[in-house]
A and B are shown apart, each in its own frame.
Chain A
Amino acid sequence: MKPFLTLSLVLAAGLALAQEQPPEAPNQKGGSAAAKPPIADLPPGDAPLRPPPMAPGQPPGIVRKPIGTIIPPPQMMQPVINTSSLLKVNVTYQSFNLQIPWQKESAGGRRGLGIVLAKNRVLVTAQMVADSTYIEFELPDSGQKLPAKVEAVDYEANLALLAPNSPNKEKDFFLGLTGVELDPSARIGDALSVWQSGRVGDLIVTPMRISKVMTQGYFVENAAFLVYEATGIIRSESNSFTLPVVKGGKLAGLLLRYDSKNQVATLLPAPIIEHFLKDVGDGKYDGFPSLGIELQVTQDEQFREYLGMKSGTPGVFISKVMKGGTADEARMQKGDIMLSINGNDVDARGDYQDKQFGAVSASHLIRGRGFVGDEVEIKVLRDGKEVLLKGKLTRKQPDDYLVRPYLFDHGPKYVLSGGVLFQELTSSYLNSFGGESRSGALLRLQRIASNPEEFEKDGRKKIVFIGAVLPTQSTQGYERMSGQMVLEVNSHKITELKDVAAALKEPKDGVHTIKLREFPYLLYLDALRVERDNMQLLNGAFRVGELSRLE
């Protein structure tokens, strides 16, 4: 019976495949499913009517509309349609190869729009600057350029604040530009317009109307935020990242994605931008807080009765409380029924009634309306009794997760020893294989990522696994291995990658012993040979520059 050898082949094949892939197309940031570039699905010939270019100060030509829609009052757009708050942002980026972690992928470019705010700061989506190596501002009309840098970035909220990076030229460059203000007041039914910059800096304005407000993931998968869904027709321009959406001349949001088939745009709304800017403004960026729970809706009457909930009363069933999160610190428990947050009833769907938006997921109360450190009061039903839980809002940093949910701007951690590649598991790594149906080692790693509790309880801070085995003398016979979780190295328990580096300093009788969670469970390496191979690996055929990256 030998069904096991083939399991590791899957990963090995995946590795080979990834190496052969052509370089990423510009504007296509690999990794997360949410990273689809806005409007990229709009074919060029498919462009709808485009309003004629407009000079500043001139009222826009009203686009013909079907009968029955409300035409926005003209003064809403009138004096403020100008390009003085927009500039082009050009980003060169280069992501790390997650499977060959000492290498970088080929560099690519992204072009988008930036929104000028006060103090010469420019707002873009975080997606725009992920893994950036060089950023520049460009004036749409004159083409003048200025180097820029990232001042603050939040990949969960998909927002980044850029600052000029050339003190001498800054003043002249920003002379004709004026900062735009935020308007977080938009609500369902409001008319908005999307700004795009044409080839020579001309402004293209497209009307939109908010049809829905809900919560959704933005760019990475681990957090859901408020979004506006708006309907309207947007044509694709070359700079389709970070399109501003305005209401009455003020910034009401950024275009996140556009579904050209259904003509539905998803907008990153001003309340979230406001939250981000306020957080950045106090000098210390904390990020958006979260409760750290998993909940189940309670519309099922039989389930409600089972839980002892009366018909028509609020509340959702708490099915998971993440270790160290806000809810955990406030002593919420699995099995509680969450009735309200800060006095707002949470209904059977998990929504609360927002004054501005109507029914919205209660997560917005925490993430959108709250800040890290704020007091929170949560009422739960426990064993038939109401209990009031009090706590402070916290945010789980990406590094606090057993399996890091995303990784940008830094290379993945690794230790390469004698040809055995030790890595820390991240969601980005799993996503780099693409595809839905998985089996073998990938499926097991995926399961660890979605069930971290058992490993956290076991004292693991991270999951260390064998990513690949390079053919060396030390690894003779092990070449096809990959995907096994590392439990121990030289009798030292491995809780994170650093432990591997330390444990490899203590071979016994000249042999490293590596204990794995899966077949073949045991791996032996000759310590002397490992040292020799390490020397050869450095700048050898595999172009390894460093044998490890631990930060």
Chain B
Amino acid sequence: MKPRLLLPVLALLCGAGLTPAPAQENSGASQAIDLSSGDWEGVVNIDVSVLFPDFREPWNAGAPSSGSGTGFMIGKNRFLTNAHVVSNATKLVIRTTNDPRPHPARVVFVAHDCDLAIIEAEDGAPFEKMKQLTFGGIPKLNTEVIAVGYPIGGERISVTRGVVSRIDFNTYSHSEVDSHLSIQVDAAINPGNSGGPVLQNGKVVGVAFQGYSGRVAQNVGYMIPVPVIQRFLKDVEDGKYDYYVDLAITDFPVENSAQKKALNISDDGVGVMVAEVEPAGSAGGTLQRGDVLLALDDNPVLNNGLIRFEGELMDMSEVVERKFAGDKLKVAFMRQGKKFEKEVELKRFAPYVKLGSQYNMRPRYLVYAGLVFQPMDRNLIDAHGVRDPVASYVFDNYLTDKLYVERPEPVMLTTVLSDEVNAHLTVYAQSVVDEINGVKIRELNDVAEALKKQDKKKDFVVITLLEKGRPVVLKRDLADAAHPHIMQTYGIPADSYLGNE
């Protein structure tokens, strides 16, 4: 099987035969590179074998596949790459330009929320003398950069050149829900470039990670800039990754004169309306809807939600982005014309992780008498192609209607494996579970206990579903008796996997 070249968002650029670019020796910043000089020796190719988990048949191993990306040495036997290069990996191999041997490797740290990972070779000895790459800063607009890596189009190392096009906040498509600073370049970034360094004056100014298909936009590639990389490196210094923290508020820009007047916002351009505050987030209990956010750590927040940070206008989140779990943030705000200043402790906001893609997760499930229960998240919704309107509503409004407060992990009856005992229940597949035997189901772990519980009618297992008119009812003795042979018939090795192992 030909390996998948890794780069999210981007579809393979097909058609036009790639003509080799003539060597540029006239440009000031560019110089011919002698591979034997060892300058780029630290840029390595990573071959990955992956296993895509099967969220439809969660007891199965999943579908094997393979891929290829780039990484580069940043420390002693430490290679930086993208999280999406090593996600769901079962086997990693590092290859270098001048060494024919494959070097087995393993993941040391992975951060799916900023698409970065660190891997190491199982035997670090061959890399002892390899030249490490060092980091620069945020490059200026319209300055030249080169992307180095192992993209589509050949086997050996490749270099493409371009300029910095834009510095902006952007969604990281690996998780689909995280946004961080990213830098757009017009150097060709293609599948396989993922995880490779983007260099300026010999220093790393970013990690190539995503781009658009040529059918959508031309010459738009993105790299993860140094502040994001350094935050990741600092986070893992203590031996584990703690994720990004989030203020978990949503601002609404102040452009309307009546809005300004009603909220007592002065004409100096400072202050943005707080439209939404997640009760379970860092600012829950401190900020309220309708407050006016004035400053974060003494950095004035402008009417459009931007701040001036390191000389550039950036999304106000950038102040929070640089911090770590447990750090404090000074929040200045105005409520009904009165000014307040409070300190909040920053933490991760977990509920919205479920709205994005998750990786390296063995699917969790529980089967009882042919009824398959699974926790609702993006992976499940995509795998089952859920169309039930109630289930769609619950997932779509998990955050917006604060459903996570009541049910941190909504549980779905995804499938009914047909048997005499559940013959009338197949129509209830893809329903959201409300209660089992009178016990409210807040997460998958509640299901097993609740099934055992004997409610008023103890001979029955009674499962109420959200907005489904009638409960699903099984006679306990019949269901218990049918369970083992249903498991056998449908080839399910274990009743459940709850993620505890």
Contacts and interface: CB of A to CB of B under 8 A. Distances in A.
B141 interface: no
Contact of A524 (B258, B389, B469): B258
B360 to A, nearest CB: 23
B276 A520 contact: yes
Interface string B201-236: 000000000000000000000000000000000000
Interface in A1-55: 1-4, 7
A302 B258 contact: no
A519 B392 CA distance: 19
Contact of B389 (A1, A447, A518): A447
Contacts of B393: 443-444, 447
Nearest to B467: A451
B177 A302 contact: no
Given A4-B400, A303-B473, A319-B469, A521 B262 contact: no
Contact of A521 (B248, B276, B392): B276
B290 A526 contact: no
A257 B421 CA distance: 40
Contacts of B247: 1
Nearest to A418: B258
Given A477-B256, A519-B276, A526-B261, A305 B475 contact: yes
A333 B217 CA distance: 60
A303 B478 contact: no
Interface in A478-528: 478, 509-513, 518-527
B276 A474 contact: no
A529 B260 CA distance: 14
Given A478-B256, A520-B273, A450 B261 contact: no
Contacts of A319: 469-470
A521 B424 contact: no
A475 B250 contact: no
Interface string A129-142: 00000000000000
B350 interface: no
A296 B471 CA distance: 10
Contact of B289 (A300, A439, A446, A522): A522
Contacts of B262: 511, 513, 524
Given A294-B469, A476-B256, A524-B258, A1 B179 contact: yes
A540 B442 CA distance: 53
B84 to A, nearest CB: 20
Given A519-B276, A522-B275, A306 B352 contact: no
A475 B256 contact: yes
A527 B457 CA distance: 61
Interface in A336-377: none
A320 interface: yes
A219 interface: no
Contacts of A300: 423-425, 473
Contact of B290 (A317, A474, A521): A521
The interface residues of chain A, by DSSP majority, are classed as mixed
B367 interface: no
A440 B389 CA distance: 12
A123 to B, nearest CB: 37
Interface in A430-459: 436-440, 443-444, 446-447, 450-451
B51 interface: no
Contacts of A451: 467
Contacts of A539: none
A417 to B, nearest CB: 12
B455 to A, nearest CB: 11
B255 interface: yes
Contacts of B470: 296, 303, 317, 319
Contacts of B399: 3
B424 A299 contact: yes
B252 interface: yes
Given A306-B460, A306-B462, A524 B259 contact: yes
Contacts of B317: 1
A444 B398 CA distance: 12
A437 B248 CA distance: 28
B488 interface: no
Interface in B87-129: none
Nearest to B392: A443
Centre residue among A475, A522, A523, A525 by max chain B CB count within 10 A: A522
A94 B349 CA distance: 52
B469 A296 contact: yes
A529 B337 CA distance: 23
Interface in B329-361: 349, 352, 355
Interface string B429-473: 000000000000000000000000000010010100001011101
B279 interface: no
A300 B427 CA distance: 12
Nearest to A437: B387
Interface string B292-308: 00000000000000000
Interface string B385-413: 00101101100110111000000000000
A313 to B, nearest CB: 17
A367 B22 CA distance: 82
A446 B389 contact: yes
Given A1-B250, A437-B387, A447-B389, A302 B275 contact: no
A294 B467 CA distance: 12
Given A2-B179, A476-B255, A518 B400 contact: yes
Most B Cβ at <10 Å: residue of A306, A451, A513? A306
B253 interface: yes
Contacts of B252: 519-520
A302 B457 CA distance: 12
B475 A519 contact: no
B27 interface: no
B246 interface: yes
B290 A522 contact: yes
Contacts of B145: none
A437 B317 CA distance: 33
B400 A7 contact: yes
Nearest to A521: B289
Nearest to A306: B473
Interface string B471-496: 10111001000000000000000000
Contacts of A302: 421, 424, 460, 473-475, 478
A256 to B, nearest CB: 27
Interface string B265-288: 000000001011000000000000
Contacts of B396: 439-440, 443-444
B261 A520 contact: no
A437 B386 CA distance: 10
B258 to A, nearest CB: 4
B424 A519 contact: no
Contacts of B259: 477, 523-524
Contacts of A512: 258
Contacts of B276: 4, 519-521
A476 B352 contact: no
B500 interface: no
Nearest to B469: A319
A21 to B, nearest CB: 25
A438 B399 CA distance: 17
A439 B473 CA distance: 31
Contacts of B387: 436-437
A2 to B, nearest CB: 6
A296 B262 CA distance: 52
Contacts of A510: 261
B258 A519 contact: no
B31 interface: no
Contacts of B423: 300
Complex A-B, nearest 9 residue pairs according to Cβ-Cβ distance, in ascending order: A477-B255, A300-B424, A319-B469, A520-B275, A526-B258, A524-B258, A520-B252, A524-B262, A296-B470
20 contacts: A3-B399, A4-B275, A7-B400, A300-B425, A306-B462, A440-B396, A443-B392, A444-B393, A446-B389, A447-B390, A478-B256, A511-B258, A512-B258, A519-B252, A519-B400, A520-B252, A520-B273, A524-B259, A524-B261, A526-B256
